[in-house]
Amino acid sequence: METKELLRHIDHTLLRQTATWEDIRELCSDAIRFETASVCIPPSFVRRARDYVAGKMKICTVVGFPNGYATAAVKAFETADAVENGADELDMVIHLGLVKEGKDEAVLEELRAVRKACPGKILKVIVETCFLSREEKIRMCRLVSESGADYIKTSTGFAGGGATTEDVALFRTCLPPGVRIKAAGGIRTLEDAETMLQAGADRLGSSAIVQLAKEKAQAKRG
């Protein structure tokens, strides 16, 4: 796959706790230059980033990040606030404790509350696969599909485990065609990215791929 095509699937991501506005601005500039799918940034920077990109780039932010154990009401408020500030896409973390307890209706209620808070926006549900059994992953595919969310996402990248091709392939077999997959966590090379897309992912969350593209472009000029 050509690097330019691959970049169209990237959510260019910066979520580290010490990120500054200067870091976010540079992230946005690189995303515009390399035509990524979006930038994925902390909620506190959404409004400034929206104004800075001026419609040239989609703004994605996170909800309930990274642990997911806020109440459904808090997540819905976070979502509505992000939308008001200019977010186009929301990546929310599920309540893993509810999943482990088998409280599927409570999980679904939370997902629907967040979905209701961002009408017309893209919603991605982070299920943190490194903590889930195969059976739980399959259940989450069903719940995400029933909730009306647009994507299931593998990982936050903050839990010690990231995306695997096995999980992406499993999700693809369990999801209806209209629900897409975002792989995130540990995608550090162009080969990693292409492998995830081949396994069935449509979006990739990565902080490294654009830097590799920059280095590749510089090498060609040199």
Q: What pLDDT digit, counting tens, does each position of 119-163 carry?
A: 999 999 999 999 999 999 999 999 999 999 999 999 999 998 899
Q: Does residue 166 have a pLDDT over 70? A: yes
Percent of the chain beyond pLDDT 70? 100
**Of these residues, 91, 150, 167, 192, which one is catalytic?**
91
Select the CATH number that applies to the domain covering 3-221 from these four: 3.20.20.70, 3.40.50.80, 3.90.1150.110, 3.40.50.2300.
Answer: 3.20.20.70
Secondary structure of residue 124 in the 3-state scheme: strand
- Catalytic site includes residue 192: no
**Contact criterion met (CB below 8 Å) for 7 and 39:** no
**Of these residues, 11, 150, 153, 167, which one is catalytic?**
153
| pLDDT confidence of residue 218 | 84
What's the pLDDT band for 222 if we cut at 50, 70, 90? low
| pLDDT confidence of residue 159 | 94
Q: Kindly report whether the global pTM for this prediction surpasses the value 0.85.
A: yes
| pLDDT confidence of residue 219 | 85
Buried b (16+ CB within 10 A) or exposed e, 54-93: eeebbbbbbbbbeebebebeebbbbbebbbebebbbbbbb
- Nearest-CA neighbor of 91 among 211, 204, 199, 8? 204
Q: Does residue 27 have a pLDDT over 70? A: yes
- Catalytic site includes residue 30: no
- Rounded to the nearest integer, the mean pLDDT of the chain is 97
- Catalytic site includes residue 75: no
Helices 72-85 and 46-53: crossing angle in degrees, nearest 10, is 30
The pLDDT tens digits of the residues spanning 176-196 come to: 999 999 999 999 999 999 999
| pLDDT confidence of residue 207 | 92
> Rounded to an integer, what distance in angstroms lies between the CA atom of residue 64 and that of residue 30?
26
Percent of the chain beyond pLDDT 90? 95
**Contact criterion met (CB below 8 Å) for 47 and 81:** no
**Of these residues, 58, 75, 124, 182, which one is catalytic?**
182
What tokens does 30 get?
Answer: 């690189």
The pLDDT tens digits of the residues spanning 32-53 come to: 999 999 999 999 999 999 999 9
